[in-house]
Structure 1
Amino acid sequence: MTTLRARAEQYLVMRRALGSKLETQGPHLTSFVRFCEQRGAAHVTADLAIAWATQTGRGSSDEVYQARRLDTVRIFARHLQALDPATEIPPEDVLPRRYRRIPPYLYSPDEVVALMSAADDLRPGIRAATWRTLIGLLAVTGMRSGEACHLGRDDVDLHAGTIEIVDSKFGKSRLLFLHPSTIIELRDYARVRDEQMPEPRAGTFLVNSRGRPLDNHNIQHTFAALVTAAGIQAPPGRRAPRLHDLRHVFAVATMLDWYRDGDNVQARLPVLSTWLGHVDPKSTYWYLQAIPELLALAVGRLERQPDRRAAS
């Protein structure tokens, strides 16, 4: 008899073979299977799924987070029901999912400089150089931190001035073009890296103090320390500044420049979506609602347009 754990493992292998990374869903499903095993359950039931989704390891009471956990089980249950008719698929409306995107912290140019200066105090020297380069790279390209961590040396072409993001989120790849000043900084980093790490243990462009790739999960702790060292604080009631917010800084700065230059922002948003690796422009449109300055510029643009109805 095939166990629930074996079927979950087969399911995860199949999903990954089809291109899904399952960085969050994989661990969640494994946790759910362990939850079932501890209760001696051989089949997935709605009650078990709801109990697991709402009893989070960190005691989170966030309803959206719990609903997402339940979604992981629901998708698996749909697959499993064809193999095990006793499987129950949790209903979609059992947990509220009032999704709310929290506005990002938008670092000022001076704050980005302060973060890079704080990175200079890290030891050993290669760690300081890597962090200074990572912060600057995220701020001027808008790539995801995980994408920067996984960049291979061959992905960074400093002669052509391009960076290729290969098989990133949603299985998409894209090409980023670098400003000449960014190329200079990356060349300086590559020189320092090769001097201090002549035989690194990884082929990634950015390396840690042991010559290995940066860990996208662990670097969040170092960045939090740099935020404190730089004297950056979020306004009361707002989420603490994150490394990922540097991506938002790039997106917002790009759109602000377009508005100020009089460009047709709506027509250019798909370009920015492609650059950022968004699956569709809807994710990019969110910035217009989340950032007051962008919204004010958009409204001002509309108010300056002639009333077409009056002209007709």
Structure 2
Amino acid sequence: MTGLGEAAEDYLAMRRALGFTLVGEARLLMRLVNYCHARECEHLTTELMLDWATEPGPRAHSAGTYYQGRKLAVARNFARHLQILDPVTEVPPGDLLTARAPKLIPHLFTPEQVQALMRAAARITPPLKASTWSTLIGLLAVTGMRSGEACRLDHDHVDLDQATLLIANTKFGKTRQVFLHPSTIAALRRYTDLRDRCCPNPATSAFFVSARGGRLNVSQVAPLFATLLDATGITAAPGRRRPRPHDLRHSFAVATLIDFHHDGAPVEPRLPVLSTWLGHVDPKSTYHYLHAAPQLLTLAAQRIDDHERSRS
């Protein structure tokens, strides 16, 4: 069993070297290794992996077949790797417990809704907390950053003179630079002035600080965001889930794609630019946003019609 554990560690190290973080996958893979160890199994078989993927448990009950499919997908990928080293390893068929995530339609915030959220945040007490959350929401809306990326920003990541942000060690271990509009720079300057007056000796190098002078914890973002939604009366459409902070990122991406269409230039050649801006591993991840808004599909269909008419 030590062999299986070592093979799993080597497999994870190899994939991390390619830029994958694999936090959830690594956790599941080591659970599979422990499952095999408990049953004294030296080789992976389809039956063994299927039993592990479908074993009862709290998460399995709440997430249903999607979680089972995700577990088996992790086992399948590892088995493909292991089969090269151990030819008796079985690889589960690709159509067995396929992991199809439920399609969650994001809430697309309008500029007016973003402004309402910022105004609600500005009414929080004390003033430093109000300014921190109001500025954070505005920055998420105009850059498409992830909440965790914004919370991890340090002083030296924000260059107000050069109008740039350095987003380091992101979800996929990448670092990227984001350019800021003059209005965003002005808002960030106002925040830094207030922050430095209210907290002249912070206990952290973070750009965004809490009322006590510490770094914001990303786990605080969703609960406070929910409070702001209640304060502004922003609700989800019937049958959809409650808006999330991450939907600000979706809203930015969709608005950018709509601008691409309105510019009249071909959209596909510009998708890699948006992918780099958002910190995606490759443009395929950005295609997800093409289906997030009916307006985007309408614009795409209109451009196809215009192209076909121009050829006739």
TM-score, with structure 2 as normaliser: 0.83
Deviation at 1:138, TM superposition (A): 0.8
Q: Which runs of 5+ in 2 are unaligned?
A: none
Q: How does 1:209-220 map to 2 (within 5 A)?
A: 209-220=211-222
1:28 is aligned to 28
> What is the RMSD computed on CA atoms of the aligned residues?
3.1
1:200 is aligned to 202
Cα deviation code 1:123-180 (max 9, x no counterpart): 4443322221211111001112222122222111100000122232333322111011
In structure 2, C-alpha distance between the alignment counterparts of 1:227 and 1:36, rounded to whole Å? 46
Cα deviation code 1:276-307 (max 9, x no counterpart): 22233333333333311111122222323463
Deviation at 1:95, TM superposition (A): 0.4
Count how many residue pairs are aligned between Structure 1 and Structure 2: 309
Q: How does 1:99-118 map to 2 (within 5 A)?
A: 99=101, 101-118=103-120
Cα deviation code 1:192-226 (max 9, x no counterpart): 22233333333222223443333334422322232
Do residues 275 (structure 1) and 277 (structure 2) align? yes
1:245 is aligned to 247
In structure 2, C-alpha distance between the alignment counterparts of 1:84 and 1:267, rounded to whole Å? 43
2:188 is aligned to 186
Deviation at 1:5, TM superposition (A): 6.2
Pair 1:285–1:183, CA change in 2 (3 A)? same
1:2 is aligned to 2
SS, match of residue 170 in structure 1: coil
Aligned counterpart for 2:130 among listed residues 121, 128, 131:
128
2:306 is aligned to 304
Letter of the aligned partner of 1:116 in structure 2?
Answer: M
Pair 1:282–1:22, CA change in 2 (3 A)? closer
CA contact (8 A) 1:156 1:163 kept: yes
Cα deviation code 1:213-247 (max 9, x no counterpart): 33334422322232222211111211221111101
Structure with the larger helix share: 2
1:235 is aligned to 237
1:148 is aligned to 150
Deviation at 1:26, TM superposition (A): 3.0
2:58 is aligned to 57
CA contact (8 A) 1:201 1:212 kept: yes
Cα deviation code 1:235-281 (max 9, x no counterpart): 12112211111011111112222333434333322322221222333
Letter of the aligned partner of 2:132 in structure 1?
Answer: T
1:94 is aligned to 96
CA contact (8 A) 1:4 1:42 kept: no
In structure 2, C-alpha distance between the alignment counterparts of 1:218 and 1:8, rounded to whole Å? 34
TM-score, with structure 1 as normaliser: 0.83
